[in-house]
Amino acid sequence: MRGRAFAPAHITAFFEPCFAESPERTGSRGAGVTLEAGVHTEAVAEAADSTSITVELNGRLCSCEVSTKVAEMLLEMKGERYRVKLSHTCQVPVAQGLGASGAGALSTAIALSHALGLRLSATMLGRIAHVAEVECLTGLGDVAAQIHGGLVVRTSPGAPGVGSVERFYCREEVAVLVMGGEKPTGRCLRSLRAGSEMHRLTRSCLQRMLEEPELSTLIRLSRKFALSTGLASEKLREALLMLEAHGISAGVCMLGEALFVEAGDAEKAAELLKLQPLLFRSDNCGARLI
C-alpha cells in the first residue's frame, strides 16, 4: 500500500510561543507565508510480523524523529503491524526557519494514512502532525499554517481544529538568504518563554497584519519583531540594518539564520550580503495528497 503527499514550507515572520497543558492546545500566535517548495513524501506500508519504520531524507537514511512519531501514532490507530518506509524529498534548507519538519510531519500524516487505508479528516491529520511537532519540540505553529496555505495569521494557538487562523491569498515571489549554519528549533524553543513585551509586540503585529495582509507588511513586521525581541543573532541584526540603509526591508525566518525579502529586492540584497538568493513562489493550496 502506498501514498504520496506534499506539504509546503512555511516562513514564520513573527510569533509568540504559547505552552499549555496539552500538545493540542500548545502552539503559537503569529504570522507567516507558505511556499510552493516544501516536502514531498512517499509512504509505503506492508503487513509484517513486527512493526518497523525507516525514513529517508533526499535519498539518505535519517532518524527524522517527528516523521517517525507521526507514523507511530497512525500505526497505533490502525492497530496492526506494518513495515513502513517513508521517503522525504525536501526542497528547502532544513533548520533555517522554513518549517521543513512541520512539512515532513504533515506530508507523512497524509501519505501514510492513505497507505494504511485510514479515513481521517484533514483536521485530524493536521492535529496528529501538530502533536508530533510539539512533543518532539520541532515546531509550534507551522502545521496550522501549512494545512491551509497562503499568508496565514495565527490568531490563537493550538492544533488545527483547536487554534484559530485567518488565511489570505498571496501570489508573490519570496527570496530567502541563508546566512549561517543549521539552527535546530528544539534548542531555541527550550530556552524561549514569552514575556509581557513579546506578548504586547505580537499582539500589535497581529493587529497590523489583519489590517494590511500583504507580504510587504509581513516583512516589515518581521524585521521590527526580530530587532525588538533580540531573536535576531548579531550577524542577522547587522544584515538587517545594512539592508535598511540601502532601502531594502528584510524579515527573519524564525528561528533560523536566514532572511527573506521580496523578489524585487533579491538581486540587490544578495549583492550586498554576498550570498546566493533562493527564490520561491508563495503557495495557496496547502498540504495535499498527490
* pLDDT single digits (tens) 58-70: 999 998 999 999 9
What is the model's pLDDT at position 187?
55
First to last CA, the chain: 15
Cα 218 from Cα 178, distance rounded (Å)? 18
Encode pLDDT of 192-202 as tens digits. Answer: 665 678 889 99
What is the model's pLDDT at position 180?
84
What is the model's pLDDT at position 194?
58
What is the model's pLDDT at position 186?
56
Burial class (CB in 10 A: 0-12, 13-18, 19+), 60: exposed
Encode pLDDT of 145-201 as tens digits. Answer: 999 999 999 999 999 999 999 999 999 999 999 998 776 655 566 556 656 788 899
- Domain residue spans in the chain? 1-290
Residues in the chain with pLDDT < 50?
Answer: none
- The pTM for the full model equals 0.95
Cα 29 from Cα 37, distance rounded (Å)? 23
Domain 1-290: assigned CATH number: 3.30.230.120
What is the model's pLDDT at position 193?
60
Grid cell 495528497 in the structure block, residue: 289
What is the model's pLDDT at position 230?
87
